[in-house]
Structure 1
Amino acid sequence: MKIEVSRPVGQRAAHKIIRDVRHMFRLDDDLQEFYRLMMGDPEFAWIAAQGAGRLLRSPTVFEDLVKMICTTNCSWALTEKMVSGLVNELGTAADDGRKSFPSAAAMDTPSAEFYRDKIRAGYRSPYLKELAQRVASGELDVESWLTTGASLADLMKQIKSVKGVGDYAAENLLKLIGRYDGLALDSWTRAQFAKARNRGRVASDKKILRYYARFDSWRGLALWCDMTHDWLDPQNVAKW
């Protein structure tokens, strides 16, 4: 992997860039247990063979959490519009003009009305303002979720204490911090499961959970790899 920067950087900045890239690409995640489990099932052995399962994430939990809130109850196009708006309006510009995702402090500066009128965040507007305020003030340390020893139930409770975060958003965020117990079912994954595993028929959430239950604490990652298997088809990869 080669990292290109827009200008020369010092040792401290270079260290941070490398750390962030390793975090984003999950280069230090230990998936050996997951791969051993996948190798034990002929239909899932391809995951271990291809080294799949390292889900791309943002440099910070805060960024992933904000983006997750922006995926709920809306189309992907609207999600992209909201996130692009946050970057364009509040992000810090680099030498080449591109902007970074805003920090909690930057997002705490404008009012909830800004998020409603400028970002078009709708009902999420006060939630984004409150989240930024809690994180910027130090009241809520979302980065600690990466290393916490809290039980799954306690961690889910902490994540869902953030307004705008329900089971779907919380379980998706869990995958990005290395906890794969939840399935994070939505309309897309339910439709994919029906097509791939249930002969085109709609399946209940309980049935989907039973199907992946054999993978225990890795079931969420197994489901995601299973539902996105065709993304790795060479013809689909060529379209990226």
Structure 2
Amino acid sequence: MGAQAAAEIRAGGRFGRLPAGTDLPRTGTLRLGPLPPGFRLSAVALGHAASGLGPSCYDVDRGAWHRVLTTPQAGPLTVTVHEAPAAAVVPDLTVPDPAAPDLTAPDFGPHLVVRWGRTAGGDADREAIRRQVWHALALDDDLSDLYASLAGEPDLAWVAAGGHGRLLRSPSVWEDLVRALAATNAALSRTRSMLDALVELFGARGPAGERAFPDAAAIARGVAVDGPEILRDEAGWGYRAGSLALLAQRIDAGTLDVERWWDRSPRGPSDDEVGAEIRALPGFGPVSADGLLGLLGRPCGLALDAWARARVGELAGLPGPAGEREVRARYARFGRWAGTVCRLEITRGWTER
């Protein structure tokens, strides 16, 4: 999957399929900021393959991220996100909260502009868009500890200088779980087709043809009517159909609360507990668990699939893929950031063609 993603990104153009609704006249606009120091949209959107999986697309040449989001009043809306310099003037502004800086001030720094068509949306829609974009781009993540751990590593100075370290997330843990399941032992094209099929079969449809990623309830209802066979045969999930059906049913029934994994307070589950819960799910193994921990702001896993081992072997000058012991030894000095530094090294160049 990693090799295919790297090839597509380096080729330029669109990484993923452009969602419906991107060509509509823009009737809604938000300006989001202030951004963390050094933030770059491309560094987040192209940090792994998520931006190329439906209903999401990243335009490598134009630096624009397209994504269908679910809103409470307008339904599915395709939004386009791009960076803007401090001097950019954007009408129809929404301030995230009363304590935020004045976004209309002429000296407001670099920010994100979010636009969409079909409807301007109500206050609840705009807040939902703001919240989901902010979350997906990991704008609340504090990377100061990561950058401090790299301060004595001149060969890794490009990480902080380029604003690297954040991972593009889905609006929900549920969606990231489904993406991880689809990516297990599958090429990027196969993963993309499985997710596209889910969106087409179960995703809510907007008036302009936009389709949102289906929630667990939608898939659970489909399985209740047609059985897991609809996932296996019509969505092309093969042997993964049973695992996906069970995951959707448990979340829909409330017997599995995956959103609580976001709780990193002393009362919340530990990294080890979350990792163990993920590995206990049918269809999920150590690689999936490591990747998901990173998406949850728990950067402690190496996610060593075959492509990652091969890339580390190349970086280390080995005659073949690196073994787990060699990979762990290479990144051990970075402690809890070992998996993050490993991922950054093996994907370096994706955002700087």
**How far apart are residue 200 of structure 1 and its match?**
4.3
Q: How does 1:14-163 map to 2 (within 5 A)?
A: 14-110=126-222, 111-148=227-264, 149-163=268-282
* Partner Cα distance (1:68, 1:202) in 2: 23
Q: Where in structure 1 are there 5+ consecutive unaligned residues?
A: none
Aligned residues: 234
Instruction: Note the residue ranges of structure 2 that are not aligned, 5 or more in a row.
Output: 1-111
Distance in 2 (CA, whole Å) between partners of 1:31 and 1:46 is 14
Mapped contact 1:127–1:163 kept (Cα < 8 A): yes
CA distance in 2, matches of 1:147, 1:161: 19
Q: Tell me which structure has the larger Cα radius of gyration.
A: 2
Q: 1:185 aligns with which of 282, 304, 308?
A: 304
Q: Which has the higher contact order (CA 8 A, sep 6+)?
A: 2
CA distance in structure 2 between the partners assigned to 1:198 and 1:109 by the alignment = 51
CA distance in 1, matches of 2:321, 2:202: 42
Distance between the aligned counterparts of 1:95 and 1:88, measured in 2? 14
Q: Give RMSD over aligned pairs.
A: 1.2
Structure with the higher fraction of residues in strand conformation:
2
Query: Percent identity among equivalent residues?
Result: 38
1:163-216: CA deviation from partner (whole Å, max 9, x where unpaired)? 111101111011100111110011111111111123443321111011101110
4+ runs deviating over 6 angstroms: none
Letter in 1 for 2:135: H
1:2 is matched with which residue?
113
User: Is the CA contact 1:115–1:121 (under 8 Å) kept in the aligned structure 2?
Assistant: yes
Q: Looking at secondary structure, tell me which structure has more helix per residue.
A: 1
Alignment correspondent of 1:206: 325
Q: Secondary structure at the match of 1:109?
A: helix
Counterparts of 1:163 and 1:180, CA distance in 2: 23
Q: CA–CA distance in 2 between the matches of 1:141 and 1:9?
A: 30
Where do residues 215-234 of structure 1 align in structure 2 (5 Å cutoff)?
215-233=334-352
**Aligned residue for 2:287?**
168
For 1:228 and 1:39, the matched residues in 2 are separated by 20
